[in-house]
Amino acid sequence: MIFTEDFTLSTLICDEDDRLTLWGLARLFQDVAGDHSDSLGVGFEGLKPQNKAWVLTHVYYNVLRFPSAGERLTLKTWPKTDNGLIAPRDYQLIDAKGDVCASSSSNWVILDMNTRRVCRLHETIKVFEEHDINSTKFSKLEKIKMPEELAMVKKIDVPYSSIDHTRHVNNAEYIKWICDSIDEITKPRGTGRKEIRELEINYLKETKHGDPNVILLKKDLDNYNYYQIQNSNGISVNAKFFIG
């Protein structure tokens, strides 16, 4: 079964023009995945007694239109065939006319919250009905190939508000940090402003509150903007943006 939720877009995840933000889109897809898992007893509360949790490791977004606050929208999500460790999941955001506003492909793992190690999916994933339907151009996500010699953009002070119930920075917060550093997308609309149309992120190492060594680096190459976030343990995030 494809899991579906209808909702009205809130201003809380919109920008100054009341249009959905990219980090807001990430939150929506994250939340609907959680709701689907919760409905089958394998969400956050279902895995908590085992000291386990779902963690996003890789995601790709394709945005056709950023809807406006107050619009009635539909979220759809479905799991795809897993490999024993990685659980792929796709998404769509659909407007009242039935048009797709955005789509996404993602990879999730189950993390042991004590050892911080990835667990085998075993029987957990078998409660899902899997679908071989691709919402994006990717049937399988591959590791991002990053360019060399990225330049320092800024140091990031990790706020407590960026931490979620896994006790590390929420995946949507990294997107917010990167978007805040892109001058092109902070221009007023109507002035030739461009939009982020594609975004792909590898989440490699968790970042925690109070880490004093979190930095953002960047390099533009072949019509793409590449970003990397590093922390005290090494590379935390690799990201690839297309702005058009």
pLDDT digits (tens, 9 = 90+) for 49-101: 999 999 999 999 999 999 999 999 999 999 999 889 999 999 999 999 999 99
pLDDT digits (tens, 9 = 90+) for 109-167: 999 989 989 999 987 777 788 888 999 999 999 999 999 999 999 999 999 999 998 88
Q: In the structure encoding, which two tokens stand for residue 20, read together?
A: 């959905």
Three-state secondary structure readout of 63-120 = ECCCCECCCEEEEEEEECCCCCCCEEEEEEEECCCCCEEEEEEEEEEEEECCCCEEEC
Q: How far lies 79's CA from each of 53, 69, 155, 189, 199, in Å?
A: 17, 28, 36, 36, 20
Q: In the structure encoding, which two tokens stand for residue 73, read together?
A: 């929208």
What domains are defined for the chain? 1-142 (3.10.129.10), 143-244 (3.10.129.10)
